[in-house]
């Protein structure tokens, strides 16, 4: 018995390769590859995300202003009150 959990059966014809986590660079290429890739992704998606959000915000803001305007009392309705 004495085998580890992943080594309970021998399967022929399948080759697996592993890298030791101690030999990997955790942040390798973060600045040189990760930052430019992030900026490229933001640039590519900008036109798909920003215009709908801007239109939605403008509509929301205008509806809020119109609602506040409609909730006010009309001063002309109360001109003859004493």
Query: What pLDDT digit, counting tens, does each position of 1-23 carry?
Result: 566 776 767 777 887 778 777 77
Q: What is the DSSP string of the chain?
A: ----GGGSS--TT-------TTTS-TTTTIIIIIHHHHHHHHHHHHHHHHHHHHHHHHHHHHHHHHHHHHHSPPGGGGTT--
d(CA 33, CA 27): 10
The pLDDT value recorded for residue 23 is 77
Over residues 21-70, the pLDDT tens digits come to: 777 787 888 899 999 999 999 999 999 999 999 999 999 999 999 999 99
- 73 pLDDT above the threshold of 80: yes
Give the start-to-end residue ranges of the domains of the chain.
42-72
pLDDT tier for residue 72 given thresholds of 50, 70 and 90: very high
Distance, CA of 63 to CA of 33 (rounded, Å): 44
pLDDT higher at 59 or 74: 59
């Amino acid at each position: 018995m004495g085998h580890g959990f992943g080594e309970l059966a021998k399967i022929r014809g399948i080759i697996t390769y592993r890298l030791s986590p101690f030999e990997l660079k955790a942040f390798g290429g973060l600045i040189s590859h990760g930052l430019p890739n992030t900026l490229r992704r933001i640039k590519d998606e900008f036109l798909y995300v920003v215009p709908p959000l801007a239109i939605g915000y403008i509509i929301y803001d205008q509806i809020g202003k119109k609602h506040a305007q409609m909730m006010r009392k009309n001063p002309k309705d109360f001109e003859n009150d004493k």
